[in-house]
Amino acid sequence: MANELRPSTIQVQVCYALTDTVYLQDVSVPAASAIQDAILASGVLQQYPEIELATARVGIFGKLKALDSVLQHGDRVEIYRPLQAEPMESRRRRAAHKTGRKD
């Protein structure tokens, strides 16, 4: 059908994973909303005030996106925490631990 109506709202999920818990919130937002709109509607910023949205890295299903990226129905918006350790150093420590070396 060429004149199919588009929904006025879409359902998305907002996810923020901590080391010991995961925040998951389903939200309904107007069609053509951006990632930032879903995050604001989810309430995650009130529950986790340490999130600095202006500098936070965000994505959809594991792919980095900008806050103004337009959402599709069923998207999972993810807010990524800053790395606690530099990835190469972490790999070096794990490898040394496996071999019993002390660096």
Tell me, what CATH number does 69's domain have? 3.10.20.30
pTM for the whole thing? 0.76
Q: Is residue 3 part of a domain?
A: no
Amino acid occupying residue 6: R
Nearest to 43 by CA among 61, 58, 17, 23: 23
**Model pLDDT for residues 32-72, shown as the tens digit of each residue:** 999 999 999 999 999 999 999 999 999 999 999 999 999 99
Q: Is residue 61 part of a domain?
A: yes
Bridge partners, residue 17, by sequence:
22
**Alpha-carbon distance values, 8 to 26, 28, 38 (Å):** 17, 10, 15
**Model pLDDT for residues 9-23, shown as the tens digit of each residue:** 999 999 999 989 999
Radius of gyration of the chain (CA): 18
Q: How many domains does the structure of the chain reveal?
A: 1
Q: 58: domain range?
A: 9-99
Nearest to 60 by CA among 42, 47, 79, 33: 79
